[in-house]
Amino acid sequence: MLRLSATLLLAAAMVAQAAAPAAAIEASAGELPIILTAPHGGDESLPGCAERTPVGVRFVNRPDAHTDRLARLIAAELQRITGRAPYLVIARFHRKYIDANRRAEEAFGDPGCAAAYAAYHATVRAYIDDIRGKHPHAMLFDVHGQIAFRDAILRGTRYGSTVKALLSRAGAPAINGPDSVFGRFAAQGYNIVPGINSAPTDHVEAKNYIGGHTVEIYGSHRSDGIDAMQLEYGRDLREGAALEATARDSARAIAAFYERFLRAPPVAAKARGATPSARRNIVENAPGLS
Ligand SMILES: [Zn+2]
């Protein structure tokens, strides 16, 4: 009898745990090799999860206002431009309960919050694994807000480390060239930090915004990661009517980056599937080569 009760209690607890995470995050798989994550925009409470108490050197429990909506709008605009949706993971819970951009030890204090935190990161990991199986190149953009540089967008890659694969195959232009995301931001008139003329590995990313837990654990400096970049939007770019313009311009910047650096080049029709001798024929019969 005692054993049965314990089993029932355990089953009830597992159902409750399973129910909470689904409500705690908003997630959708996509078709583009792009993931947008937004860990700090939520404003919902979590049943069974008590508020955090200060821990760690950078404890913050106010949300990055409107960054959940910003990520959603960027995703929709990206789909409109490219015809394909990015992957999207948004924390619905308020940061005062869980900081999803921190290690678990600093992210929450109450064990009742663990399932929602785990669900957020399990979803990001599953999407990365899915993308890695389908695409040669991919990028995660972690969407945040800050008030230190009110009219600027800040780049965080831990001084180039979390975009290691991208830098090694495409070089600095992928980070600060005209078709990079921040190159496009600058061309659209946005203030950017660091400036466009610094090298991606220079230690000039803004203090406290060099990239947090998300880019650190999912970046391409890790063997199971993809390129990852933190985007920190100033408050003026997220308020009122500015939000939609920011989202539209961000989607354009990301789409340009996708076209130039992520989209796999089409395989030449003649060469595809051709045997070595057939390929030689193509070359030998090509006009101007005889
Ligand atoms: Zn943030």
Helix (H, G, I), strand (E, B) or coil at 72: helix
Q: Which pLDDT band, with edges at 50, 70 and 90, does 111 fall under? A: very high
CA of 269 from ligand 1 middle (Å) equals 46
CA of 156 from ligand 1 middle (Å) equals 11
A 10 A CB-CB count for 179 gives 17
Residues 6+ apart with CB under 8 A from 59: 52, 106
Residue-wise pLDDT tens digits, 156-202: 999 999 999 999 999 999 999 999 999 999 999 999 999 999 999 99
Residue-wise pLDDT tens digits, 99-108: 999 999 999 9
Q: Judging by DSSP bridges, how do beta strands 139-146 and 227-234 pair with one another?
A: parallel
CA of 127 from ligand 1 middle (Å) equals 21
Can you give the residue ranges of every domain in the chain? 19-284
CA of 5 from ligand 1 middle (Å) equals 43
CA of 78 from ligand 1 middle (Å) equals 22
- Which of 1-10, 22-31, 119-128, 214-223 has the weakest average pLDDT? 1-10
CA of 144 from ligand 1 middle (Å) equals 4
pLDDT at 288 over 90: no
Dist CA 23 CA 25 (whole Å)? 6
Q: Which two tokens stand for residue 243?
A: 């939000």
The C-alpha R_g of the chain, in whole angstroms, comes to 22
Q: Can you give the pTM of this predicted structure? A: 0.85
The CA angle 204-207-209, to the nearest 5 degrees, is: 95
A 10 A CB-CB count for 193 gives 20
Q: Judging by DSSP bridges, how do beta strands 152-156 and 87-91 pair with one another?
A: unpaired
Dist CA 65 CA 156 (whole Å)? 19
Dist CA 254 CA 76 (whole Å)? 12
Dist CA 57 CA 59 (whole Å)? 6
pLDDT, average across residues 147-151: 97
CA of 265 from ligand 1 middle (Å) equals 34
| CATH architecture, domain 19-284 | 3-Layer(aba) Sandwich (3.40)
CA of 230 from ligand 1 middle (Å) equals 9
Residue 84: the pLDDT is 98
Q: Which pLDDT band, with edges at 50, 70 and 90, does 11 fall under? A: very low
CA of 113 from ligand 1 middle (Å) equals 19
CA of 149 from ligand 1 middle (Å) equals 14
Rounded alpha-carbon distances, angstroms, from residue 93 to 17, 23, 119, 174, 288: 15, 9, 12, 34, 65
**Residue with token string 């913050």:** 60
> What is the percentage of the chain residues whose pLDDT exceeds 70?
83
